[in-house]
């Protein structure tokens, strides 16, 4: 009865740990960037609501542009991290490590776990477009 030496599996587990660490890092980046997005947009909408009653028309028009730019920049960085996660997952599957164990517990739920990260930058951008349209009506 020949069994593989424990050291034969060591490189697989080391690669698994390295890929899992990369995956976790990118997942944490998405979390932080979503928090930046929500906090920045909340502050910008609060300031915009305060300024919309003032007579500073150029600021009322400028805030939506700035809000769209902030949402776009953070959205691009979120999508970059999501792409990096897909690259890590591709490397994981190509190495055959899925036989050891799963990289992510969320793989069975489809892409619903990414829905907030993928859609919130567009939601905030659309809200700023509505604010801009309302500013032009006044």
Check residue 23 and give its pLDDT: 93
Q: Give a three-class secondary structure readout of 43-86.
A: HHHHHHHHHCCCCCHHHHHHHHHHHHHHHHHHHHHHHHHHHHHH
User: What's the pLDDT at 2?
Assistant: 47
**pLDDT at res. 11:** 62
Picking from 137, 138, 134, 131, the residue whose alpha carbon sits closest to that of residue 44 is: 131
pLDDT of residue 56: 75
The CA-based angle 35-41-45, given to 5 degrees, is 150
Longest dimension (CA), the chain: 86
Q: Which helix (H) or strand (E) holds 42?
A: helix 6-51
**pLDDT for res 99:** 78
Residues 6+ apart with CB under 8 A from 61: 132, 135, 136
User: How far does Cα 93 stand from its chain's mean position?
Assistant: 22
pLDDT at 1: 45
| Per-residue confidence (pLDDT) for residue 13, from 0 to 100 | 83
Please choose, from the candidates 75, 66, 57, the residue with its C-alpha nearest in 3D space to the C-alpha of residue 134.
57
**What is the pLDDT, as a whole number, of residue 8?**
52
One digit per residue, pLDDT tens: the chain, 138 residues? Answer: 445 555 455 568 888 899 999 999 999 999 999 999 999 999 999 999 888 777 777 788 889 999 999 999 999 999 999 999 999 999 998 888 887 777 776 555 567 888 999 999 999 999 999 998 887 776
């Amino acid at each position: 009865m020949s069994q593989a030496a424990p050291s034969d599996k060591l490189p697989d587990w080391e690669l698994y740990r390295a890929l899992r660490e990369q995956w976790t890092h990118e997942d944490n980046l998405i979390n932080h960037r979503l928090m930046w997005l929500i906090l920045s947009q909340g502050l910008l909408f609060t300031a915009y609501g305060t300024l919309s009653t003032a007579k500073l028309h150029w600021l009322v028009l400028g805030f939506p542009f700035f809000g769209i730019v902030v949402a776009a920049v953070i959205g691009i960085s979120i999508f970059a991290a999501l792409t990096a996660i897909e690259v890590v997952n591709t490397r994981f599957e190509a190495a055959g490590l899925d036989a050891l164990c799963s990289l992510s517990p969320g793989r069975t739920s489809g892409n619903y776990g990414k829905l907030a990260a993928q859609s919130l930058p567009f939601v905030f951008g659309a809200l700023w477009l509505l604010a801009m349209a309302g500013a032009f009506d006044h």
